[in-house]
Structure 1
Amino acid sequence: MYNYLDRCPGIYCGRSLLENGSWSSCGVCPRGSRVNASFACMPCRDELSTYSWLYLGFMTMLPLMMHCFFIDMDAKDRKFSRKQLILTASAFVEVALAAILATLFMEPLWELRLFACEVRKLTDWYTLFYNPNPNYETAYHCTQEAVYPLQTIVLVYYFLCLLNMFIIRPVISSMLDVRGKAPMYSALYFLPLLTLIHGTCCGLIYYSFPYLSIAMSMVANAIHYSLKLDQTQKALLLSSVWDVKNVVIISVHWLLLAFGISSLNYHYALLCLVPFPSLFYILTVRFTDPGEFREIESRI
């Protein structure tokens, strides 16, 4: 059917089928479609791959983790307070509702599944830089979402997160008499920042998010333990087992690490190493705590 189509310049320019049965001139493909090997624009009807779902899961987790971080910073309590639990639950509802709505708004409409165009290479995320200019005469503007819907769905999701926060958070705060202005103000900064990062680095994040998950988990784990006043092995171990807040925070770090390892699709036996960063810190804290070195220096 497409064998007679003339070649289009560039790698993202194609021809669209018109209502009269003829083909358009070379140009940008309509949203939700992508050029095939015969330079015809074909609708995106592939099922989203597991790796792409995991990527969307990672992008979904980022606002929730940021919400929880700033809520915890504002609480300044060693244990979970009523205010912190309510605001965290509200943040979870906001991002969960935003994720569901963002999925429903994409093709196929009002279904919890997604039609997609397969991601083939890094340049698919940056079609803006691949508009052809044959013989430096006529420029073809073929910028499109070649990885539909992985770019727009995240932008829609971040917008819905912000909208839900403005609607849900004040209602819950007034109904349950909880005040939490600082976390909301923080969201007004980090949500636009996440949007900017996604708009510029989405392709790089797509290929590196498993490693980012692992790095974020290990760094957060080390920072969490380093903030403890008592840096002895016994105190760190007991707080990791009996302190409910510590158990929850460490569990989140472990889940993030497990998520990153699972996304790599190497050997799932590596999941056995999930507790290793915590155990490594506890077992080696005596060699890294500055207090230990000061005691040794005083004895000399």
Structure 2
Amino acid sequence: MVYKSIVSELLLLLLLYFSTLCSSTQNYYYDKGSVDTLSQCPGKYCGRTLMSNGSWSPCGACERGLRRNTTSACEICSDDPTFYDWFYLGFMVLLPLIYHLVCIDNSAKRRKFTKEVIILYGIAFVEIVLAAIFSLLIFEPRGSLYIRSCHVRDLADWYPILHNPNPNYEGQLYCTQEAVYPLYSIIFVFYTLCLVIMLLVRSWLSSKLLPGRGKMSIYSAMYFFPVLILSHAVLGGLVYYSFPYIVIVSSIISNAAYFAYQLDQSMKSLFMGTLKNGRSLVILFGHWFLHAYGIVAATEIQYPLLLLLIPLPSLFYILTSKFSDPSHFM
């Protein structure tokens, strides 16, 4: 009998809990439809737009280039991009440039720089720069290399589609918008322009400079650009918060992989081979640049002494190469 009374009491408590919960979900109130006086909207991104007749629109998504403020009014994004924002955009510009250079190098299959390869490097660099400039000119204020933006407040700003409210379970309000304008959309425009400019400029030059092999770098780009676009669409917010560390770790791993591919793993050969070979020297400086880029982006130059660590991965590999040489373990 004691157990039955305990079970009945628990069932009664659960019934009261669910009845209270259901009643509380019906208590949220907001003004539906257009209003004469601005009032709050549900959710995190739903807002009201001021119409020409002086009234406010129903709660919904703000127009492109606008974002909801604390009073639920859609206001123009007029913030200045932060230091971190510019470095994020720079990282997204560096990605296709690095892929282009790697694809050109692999298709050329040359262990030393040649005039043709250097010309293709220069063309790829010009393509990326032109695409970046045109992307900035397209966005507000149009015709200027400066852009206005909305500050990124948290990770949810990159995924507003996951935060459409359903007040009182009466129907979902679709308030999906670009809350991080223009950091999300400008990357899609940039990648598209990169692809178009590449097809217009390098598609016919590469075959002339590297007969039989130059076209392979174009084919590779036709694959990695869709991958970059899809990755940005899904992982844009995660990349925004982690790109400095991605750059640092990737540069260290890539630097070690490059040295590991050298046939002679002796300390002297690795050191002198890097200094005497122009291609190796450029690759080394490229790794150092990426390492510095990641450090500056992560610290925002608050700890400049950390820049002294830039050559450390290369020096560490060279100085410890005799301990990791596979020939010593055979």
Using the size of structure 1 for normalisation, the TM-score is: 0.95
Distance in 2 between the 1:228 and 1:270 partners? 29
Contact 1:36–1:42 (CA<8 Å) still a contact in 2?
Answer: yes
Q: What is the CA distance between 1:76 and its match in structure 2?
A: 1.4
Q: Give me the CA root mean square deviation.
A: 1.5
* Correspondence list, 1:221-300, <5 A: 221-265=255-299, 266-294=302-330
Gaps (5+ residues) in structure 1? 295-300
Structure with the greater alpha carbon radius of gyration: 2
* 1:35 aligned residue: 68
Task: Supply the distance in 2 between the matched residues of 1:118 and 1:170 (Cα, whole angstroms).
Answer: 39
User: What is the rounded CA distance, in whole Å, between the counterparts of 2:326 and 2:210 in structure 1?
Assistant: 40
Equivalent pair of 1:15/1:41 in contact (CA under 8 Å): yes
Amino acid at match of 2:282: V
Q: Distance in 2 between matches of 1:207 and 1:190?
A: 22
CA contact (8 A) 1:132 1:141 kept: yes
Q: What is the CA distance between 1:268 and its match in structure 2?
A: 1.3
* Residue identity in the other structure for 1:183: S
Q: How does 1:51-62 map to 2 (within 5 A)?
A: 51-62=84-95
Query: Which whole-Å CA distance do the structure 2 matches of 1:268 and 1:181 have between them?
Result: 43
Taking the aligned partners of 1:99 and 1:110, their CA distance within structure 2 comes to: 13
Q: Is the 8 A contact 1:221 1:250 kept in 2?
A: yes
Please report how far the alpha carbon of residue 177 of structure 1 lies from its aligned counterpart in structure 2 after TM superposition. Answer: 4.2
Any unmatched runs of 5+ in structure 2?
1-36
Please state whether the residue corresponding to 1:115 is helix, strand or coil: coil
Q: Which residue of 2 aligns with 1:98?
A: 131
Equivalent residue pairs, number: 292
Matched-pair contact (CA < 8 Å) for 2:206–2:215: no
- Describe the SS at the equivalent of 1:42: strand
Asked if the contact 2:137–2:144 (Cα under 8 Å) also holds between the matched residues in 1, the reply is yes
User: C-alpha separation between the residues in 2 aligned to 1:216 and 1:81?
Assistant: 27
Q: In structure 2, what is the equivalent of residue 203 of structure 1?
A: 237
Offset from partner CA, 1:74-113 (integer Å, 9 cap, x none)? 1111101222112111111111100000000001001000
Name the SS for the 1:34 alignment partner: strand
CA distance in 1, matches of 2:264, 2:116: 27
Q: Distance in 1 between matches of 2:261 and 2:229?
A: 30
Distance 1:120 1:156 in 2: 23
Alignment check: 8 A CA contact 1:261 1:268 kept = no
1:172 and 1:268 mapped to 2: Cα distance?
A: 42
Q: CA deviation at 1:171?
A: 4.5
Work out whether residues 15 and 39 of structure 1, in 8 Å CA contact, stay in contact via their aligned partners in 2.
yes
